[in-house]
Amino acid sequence: MGLNVYARGLPPMIIVSMMLLSSMTAVVSAQDEGDEEEFFEYHTIASLGDSTLGSDPTGYRGPFASMHAANLMDLDYYEGAVGGDRSWTLIEAGRHTDIAENYGEGTLVTMMVGAWDFIDSDFQIVNEDYSFISHLEENFTIILDTLTDSNIDVLVWTLPNMSFLPFLTQIFPTEKHQFFTEASILWAERLTEIAAEYGGSVQVFDLMGASDDLLQNSSARTLGEFEVISPPEMCDKNCIMIDSLHPTSVGQGLLANYMMGAINEKFPSSDGDYPYLSQEDLIALTSFNSTSEETEKTFIEGDVTEACFDWTDASYRDMYLTITVDGEDVPVPRYVGFNTEVCKQSTHVMYTGSRVINVVTDVSNNLTLNDFFRIWGENFSSTTLMDNVLLEGGSLDIFIDLVKYEGDWESIPVEGVISIEIIFTSPIEVLADDGTESGDSVPGFSILLVLSSVLCAVVVSRRRH
């Protein structure tokens, strides 16, 4: 309409040219608007989730990847991640609302939640039951809703391939490991779908891909002339993992560079790409250039059941514990002494996993079975087993490596021990029809047979470097 008004009296060819030019200009303008890149400016990076991203009283697992990112981006850093957090404990503690209320727009939250949800569901997973992921998704959505309502951007981490966790591979047979891989992939796919619902405010960092690369490709973890060691070897300085769950300082540094690539791609700055840690920076997180001697045995000051200790350079071995009361098996909870009120992050003297107690052997204190029961918080003596008190006519026996124990019950040694069976039997009040006491048999004989077969395949000691 406007063109017709202002073009009156002009030659037809000029009018056509003007129309084409006008049309092309409109297309170019539309393309410019559509192709315009969105930039993100931040004042703070906040971590949220479990101890892969925060909480390290030992100092062997930091600086964390998120802390490296804050330094590389010249931002403030807030550590909101707490070791041992499950998705629901994070919500119950209000850690997501603390960040939403105190930071708001201009904050980038780096978040990894779900590792402990997976670990708690390990027996479901090995039975191909992945229903726990739906509960994890519900909790994850609650957290994201709270953060994005405060105009906070979120970089959510997928979980690593959980079948690579060393202690899970030790507990479950090889044929079960694939189910942890399937569950990990399922969660990564679900997480990508969740993030898409929040537009550009929530992006995904493929930790699974990054960790797979680090674990499987030596070139990805080679720093100059040095190669960072991958699991199952673990140590505090020159390995990717410090224990069965957490990256070391150099592991965090390597992951930080993968994360910086994700931030540059998904949350770009108007000033260009953010820098990465250099090889010199990464080597500084190791002891490759150090000539320090091997760590000596650790002595625990005070009560061995109350003290945390640095076990990162320690050897440990497996000890199998079976408890029966009147013929009934008493399960030993997993992770006794792990992430307790006393030791928030470090592992106590001993902790368990499906009957297997990991006993630290590079501790000069004489560790005992009694220590384990005190850590567990259960009663144990020559007359008491948990809530069971020995009465006249009953019995309480211990078999150590298949031999009945006859020593001091106040201090039962576990040095070099592979299997312990504790059998509590109440007084027999009812006789069987044949006149013999019911239950009159060799205590724990079937379990002893099982243990004897297991012992043939057990490696008594493993060294973690």
Q: Encode pLDDT of 138-154 as tens digits.
A: 999 999 999 999 999 99
Q: Provide the pLDDT for residue 253.
A: 95
Q: Provide the pLDDT for residue 30.
A: 36
The whole-model pTM stands at: 0.63
**Three-class DSSP category at 395:** strand
Please answer whether residues 182 and 133 qualify as being in contact, where contact means their C-beta atoms are separated by less than 8 angstroms. Answer: no
More confidently predicted of 407 and 52? 407
pLDDT band of residue 62 (cuts 50, 70, 90) is confident
> In 3D, which of 349, 45, 362, 206 has the Cα closest to residue 54?
45
pLDDT band of residue 456 (cuts 50, 70, 90) is very low
Q: Provide the pLDDT for residue 163.
A: 86
Which whole-number Å values give the CA distances from 29 to 2, 177, 245, 388, 460, in the listed order?
A: 19, 54, 52, 82, 72
- The tens digit of pLDDT for each residue in 259-288 reads 999 999 999 999 999 999 999 999 999 988
Domain boundaries, the chain: 44-283, 316-428+439-455
Average of per-residue pLDDT across 52-65: 76
Q: Provide the pLDDT for residue 299.
A: 76
Q: 410 CB contacts (<8 Å, ≥6 apart)?
A: 370, 381
Q: Residue 394 pLDDT > 50, yes or no?
A: yes
Average of per-residue pLDDT across 429-457: 41
Q: Residue 390 pLDDT > 80, yes or no?
A: yes
Which tokens go with 185? 């992939």
- The tens digit of pLDDT for each residue in 158-200 reads 999 888 876 677 678 888 899 999 999 999 999 999 999 998 9
Angle at 352 between CA 409 and CA 118, to 5 degrees: 160
Query: Does the domain made of 44-283 have the CATH classification 3.40.1710.10?
Result: no
More confidently predicted of 299 and 444? 299
Q: Provide the pLDDT for residue 462.
A: 36
Please answer whether residues 353 and 171 qualify as being in contact, where contact means their C-beta atoms are separated by less than 8 angstroms. Answer: yes
Q: Residue 380 pLDDT > 80, yes or no?
A: yes
128: left (phi over 0), alpha (psi -120 to 50) or beta: left
Burial (Cβ within 10 Å: 0-12, 13-18, ≥19) of residue 315: middle
Q: 442 CB contacts (<8 Å, ≥6 apart)?
A: none
Q: Provide the pLDDT for residue 24.
A: 40
